[in-house]
Structure 1
Amino acid sequence: MDRMCNVCKTLFLIPKGIFRLCFILLNNVYCIGTYTIWMIMLYPLRRLGYQDMYYKIEGKMFHWMLAMVAMWSWWAGYEVMEAGDDITECLEDRTLVIANHQSTGDVPLLMATFNTRRQILPNIMWIMDSVFKYTNFGIVSVIHQDFFIMSGRKLRERSLLNLASHIYKKYIPLKRKWLILFPEGGFLRKRKVGSQKYALKNNLPHLEHVTVPRVGALHTIMDCLNPEKVAANNNSTIGTEITLLIDETSVQKLEWILDITIAYPKGNPIDLAEIVFGYRPPCKTLMVYKLYPLSQVPKDPDSLSKWLLNRWVEKERMLETYYQTGEFPLDENSQLPTPVVQDPLRFLILHLIFIASTYFHVQVFAAAYHYCSYLIY
């Protein structure tokens, strides 16, 4: 009997997965398409000196886009739980977010977590692998001015120079607040063996549930968002290529570092395929916050590197306990796990907005095509 039930459940997953796939593909078409068209149509605002207005509109639509991604995991029953420090006081301040990286599901679940807070997603900048530039969502990230970092040891120095340039030319002028960084530089399953060899060679702690974090991007961000260092380097160069022609008084200092530990049930990460097809049973992913005022973070490079490594060693211990006991070790004053509550009515309204907008654009292009055809023939 149990075997028959399992067979029936498996057979049910096939049409369910196909339906979800078709819906998500369609969702991509009418959301990404209309977002891109609006941003192109409104581009003259930038050229006429209304950049703030342009990016305020873009930020709102970007939030709506990420709400669609949040809906995919919510619809599949993959709930997100929050625990740890209260992050209310950093929501509108310049904040660097660092998180462990386990799978392709990390980013969609972070989007689902941030979706319920209106201050974050319109004013966020993601630092992601350059390969994502060529995915379906790449055009959205390009327009939003996210940063695509090149992987590989040979490209590391160049990538950091490009990151510094992007912070000065895009992140600061656009008044972005939150900056998302995965210091491990890749997924756990891909980096684990190499990380453990590196740790053994350099007498570093052996890590199973995280990998040794890379420090280059963190150092670059801390240097760029420090008015004192900008003043010292003004009219000089980073390396040999990037000239800092920025007024240090316009640099808003980084105020917080938010350390997020992503903990999947039993250490089994959700991946993008599971989110798309929904074949994994409903489960809860835990986001544990640890908020550090910048005054508590070391400034000199060596101490900062050690501080970051200590955060990852701490993650290792906490995840080990969580996977063994099912209970995450929290500080005495920490917030207990509470669900991130999504708003299904808002999802519905956003779908209707994107669909109506797509219909409008189709009608405009159809009318333009017929008018051009009339003129030609």
Structure 2
Amino acid sequence: MTTAELRHRPPPSDDVPEPNSKADVTGPVLDTITGHPAGEAKYGRFRAFIRAVSFLVYFTSGCLTVHITQILGAPLYYLNRDLYYAYMSLTKASFGLLITTMTQWWAPTVIRISGDSSVAGQFSLTPDGRVQCAFPERMVMIANHQIYTDWLYLWWVGYTNNPHMHGHVYIILKESLKWVPVIGPGCMFLGFIFMSRKMAVDQPRLAHRLGKLKTRHADLDGKRYLNPMWLLLFPEGTNLSSNGRVKSAKWAAKTGLRDMQHLMLPRSTGMFFCLNELKGTVDYVYDCTVAYEGVPRGNYGEDYFTLSSTYFQGRPPKSVNFYWRRFALADMPLHDQEEFDKWLRERWYEKDALLEQYVSTGRFPANGAGIKGHIETEVRTKNWWEFMRIFVMLGVFGLIFNFMLRTFRILARR
């Protein structure tokens, strides 16, 4: 099924289950699934507790290490801004390695990738089975929001890119996260954008942050360049849930819009503003439709794939499925808010049709060009020892401090 065919699919019939209903699962793959999509818990209470403790020790120590490294490098802001941002991108890459390795070790899962002709040739497999992407160094990435950890898998995509982009990912977050110890200040150092969901308040913040992201720099030869940037947006505004689907259905009825089966109606205001601000410095929007294996029709991934289930009980998704498309900014109606709202909504109807195919068959459409079929890989790093990079920068600071302290003591004795 091509994107063009999806665009012309007829609207869902009137007998489609209500957004909140627990209709029977259909399709040859999902008919056989009962209970949790990932099956029975692999670990009992004691082993799950041990896994939880080890996970929290690793994640907490990694976060603290990254954050202390950020604080130690903060004075660079007043010495050289370009050097400061390059340094912070290294700390961001460290955090990207942290979340990749914690998923690799505690919640391994299959990643199944396909896409339409617009992304043909941009995926390849290495001899050891890892996927390599060839996405541009500057782009806006949009996706439907299924569960809270969507961003984790999409950040991993940056690690798979050639060149690596996991040090240049920017995410828009809820303002409340700013006050979470370590995580909030750490995200501020990483240049993430905090939103209150009130455009009057958020627009100046967005303009300020996006202004930095589109600033051109000069190298030693005087040549102008833009820093790499992957800006991740979730136009639905929040993850898919029963409450969100009900609100979306009510809004559709109120405004006379066609509702969706597997998604919520997207909000276009923030994305419209971002794209207009970045116009001229970004050429493409990459759209990823995300689906988690085994979630029954009318149910929601967040009810199954919790932190405890995924990382502690040994019940991560059996597969995380991506379907990629690419859209040129030059083809978007960025001159008019209403026209752009319609454009984005049409893309979401297409995504809803893609998800209907996935729920019915257990697969997104296969790749039509390049690698045939579906690319299957897993979340993992190239080398087992890469997690040590998280701690290298802090270790270097420790060695420098120790050297300076020893030198001072030697001089003080004279």
Using the size of structure 2 for normalisation, the TM-score is 0.71
1:81 aligns with 2:112: yes
Between the aligned residues of both structures, percent identity stands at 23
1:274 to 1:337, Cα distance in 2 relative to 1, 3 A: farther
1:328 is displaced (CA, Å) by 1.4
One-letter code aligned to 2:343: W
Does the 8 Å CA contact 2:111/2:379 hold for their aligned counterparts?
no
Q: How far apart are residue 347 of structure 1 and its match? A: 4.5
Q: Deviations along 1:97-150, whole A, 9 cap, x unmatched? A: 111011112112212332222432222211122233234532321101110111
**Partner residue in 1 for 2:206:** 163
**Gaps spanning 5+ residues in structure 1: where?**
1-8, 227-251
Does residue 301 in structure 1 map to residue 332 in structure 2? no
Secondary structure of the structure 2 residue equivalent to 1:12: coil
* More displaced stretch, 156-165 vs 272-281: 272-281
Correspondence for 1:27:
58
The code of the aligned residue for 2:253 comes to: L
What's the CA shift string for 1:237-263, capped at 9, x where partnerless? xxxxxxxxxxxxxxx522001011011
Q: State the distance in 2 between where 1:313 and 1:179 align.
A: 23
Contact 1:145-1:170 within 8 A present in 2 as well: no
Aligned 8 A contact 1:45 1:54 in 2: yes
Match of 1:121, SS? coil
Structure with more of its chain in helix, by fraction: 1
Pairing partner for 1:258 from 279, 286, 296: 286
Cα distance in 2 between the residues matched to 1:178 and 1:142: 16
Partner of 1:186: 238
User: 2:235 & 2:44 partners in 1: Cα distance?
Assistant: 36
Out of 130-139 and 281-290, give the one that drifted further. Answer: 130-139
Partner SS for 1:161: helix
| 1:52 matched to 2:97 | no
CA 1:137–1:328: 2 relative to 1, 3 Å: same
1:274 equivalent to 2:309? Answer: yes
1:263-305 alpha-carbon deviations (Å, 9 max, x no partner) = 1113352343333324315501101110112222222322211
Partner residue of 1:196? Answer: 249
- 2:321 partner SS: strand
User: How far apart are residue 28 of structure 1 and its match?
Assistant: 2.6
Partner of 1:222: 275
- Is contact 1:212-1:309 (8 Å) kept? yes
Q: Is the 8 A contact 1:113 1:340 kept in 2?
A: no
Query: Out of 121, 138, 144, which is 2:184 matched to?
Result: 138
Over 6 Å off, 4+ runs: none
User: Does residue 141 of structure 2 align to residue 101 of structure 1?
Assistant: no
- In structure 2, relative to structure 1, the CA distance for the partners of 1:295 and 1:223 (3 Å cut) is closer
Q: Which runs of 5+ in 2 are unaligned?
A: 1-39, 124-132, 217-225
Task: Tell me the TM-score normalised to structure 1 length.
Answer: 0.78
Equivalent in the alignment of 1:119? 164
Q: Corresponding residue for 2:362?
A: 326
The number of aligned residues is 333
8 Å contact from structure 1 (residues 123, 178) kept in 2: yes
3-state secondary structure, aligned to 2:231: strand
1:90 and 1:355 map into 2 onto residues whose CA distance is: 28
In the alignment, does 2:240 pair up with 1:206? no
Q: Distance in 2 between matches of 1:348 and 1:39?
A: 22
1 or 2 for the larger relative contact order (CA 8 Å, sep ≥6)?
2
CA distance, structure 2, for counterparts of residue 211 and residue 70 of structure 1:
28
Report what 1:285 is aligned to. Answer: 320
Hey, what does 1:129 align to over in structure 2? 174
- With 133-142 and 177-186 compared, the bigger mean Cα shift is at 133-142
